[in-house]
A and B are shown apart, each in its own frame.
Chain A
Amino acid sequence: MSSTSSRQINLKTQIEKLKRQDMFFWFVGLITLAFALLTLLSLIADMAMTGWPRISQSFFFSFPSRFPDKAGIYSAWVGSFCVVLVTSLMAIPLGIASGVYLEEYAKKNIWTKLIELNILNLAGIPSITYGLMALGFFVYRMHLGQSILTAGMTLGLLVLPIIIVTTREAIRTIPSHIREASYSLGATKWQTIHNHILPYSSGGIMTGVVIALSRAIGETAPLITVGALTFIAFLPSSPMDPYTVLPIQMFNWVSRPQEEFHINAAAAGLVLLTMTLFLNGTAIYIRYLFRKKYKW
Chain B
Amino acid sequence: MVKKAEVVNLNFSYTDKRILNGVSLPIYENRITALIGPSGCGKTTLLRCFNRMHDLYGAIQYDGKINLFPDELNILSDEIDPIEVRMKIGMVFQKPNPFPKSIYENIAYGLRVRGVKKKSFIDEKIEDSLKKASLWNEVSDRLNSSATSLSGGQQQRLCIARALATEPDILLLDEPTSALDPISTAHIEELVTELKKSVTIVMVTHNLHQAARTADYTSFMYLGEMIEFGESSQIFTNPKEQKTENYITGRFG
Considering the complex, give the chain B residue whose CB is closest to the CB of A196. Answer: B99
CB under 8 Å from chain A, chain B span 164-215: 166
- Whether A296 lies near B148 (C-beta < 8 A) is yes
What B residues does A178 contact at CB under 8 A?
Answer: 97, 99-100
Cβ of B8 < 8 Å from any Cβ of A?
Answer: no
Cβ of B239 < 8 Å from any Cβ of A?
Answer: no
- Whether B163 lies near A184 (C-beta < 8 A) is yes
Cβ of A118 < 8 Å from any Cβ of B?
Answer: no
Interface residues on A, range: 20 to 34
Identify the interface centre among A107, A175, A180, A191: most chain B CB within 10 Å of its CB.
Answer: A180
The contact of A296 among B97, B113, B166, by CB within 8 Å, is B97
What A residues does B87 contact at CB under 8 A?
Answer: 186
What A residues does B112 contact at CB under 8 A?
Answer: 195
Cβ of B86 < 8 Å from any Cβ of A?
Answer: yes
Type the 1/0 row for A159-191, where 1 means its CB is closer than 8 Å to any CB of B: 000000000000000010111111111111001
A107 to chain B, nearest CB (A): 8
CA distance A293 to B91 in the complex (A): 26
CB under 8 Å from chain B, chain A span 47-77: none
Identify the interface centre among A178, A179, A183, A185: most chain B CB within 10 Å of its CB.
Answer: A185
CA distance A196 to B99 in the complex (A): 8
What B residues does A17 contact at CB under 8 A?
Answer: none
Cβ of A24 < 8 Å from any Cβ of B?
Answer: no
Cβ of B114 < 8 Å from any Cβ of A?
Answer: yes
CA distance A196 to B113 in the complex (A): 12
- Whether B95 lies near A191 (C-beta < 8 A) is no
- Whether B159 lies near A187 (C-beta < 8 A) is no
- Whether A185 lies near B95 (C-beta < 8 A) is no
- Whether A181 lies near B159 (C-beta < 8 A) is yes
Cβ of A200 < 8 Å from any Cβ of B?
Answer: yes
What B residues does A177 contact at CB under 8 A?
Answer: 93, 95, 97
Identify the interface centre among A179, A184, A187, A195: most chain B CB within 10 Å of its CB.
Answer: A184
Cβ of A295 < 8 Å from any Cβ of B?
Answer: yes
CA distance A185 to B86 in the complex (A): 6
Cβ of B129 < 8 Å from any Cβ of A?
Answer: no
What A residues does B83 contact at CB under 8 A?
Answer: 186-188
What A residues does B91 contact at CB under 8 A?
Answer: 184
CB under 8 Å from chain A, chain B span 106-155: 109-110, 112-114, 148
- Whether B166 lies near A185 (C-beta < 8 A) is yes
Minimum-distance CB pairs A-B, first 10: A186-B87, A185-B110, A177-B97, A184-B91, A294-B100, A186-B86, A181-B97, A187-B113, A186-B113, A185-B113
Interface residues of A (CB under 8 A from B): 107, 175, 177-188, 191, 195-196, 200, 293-296
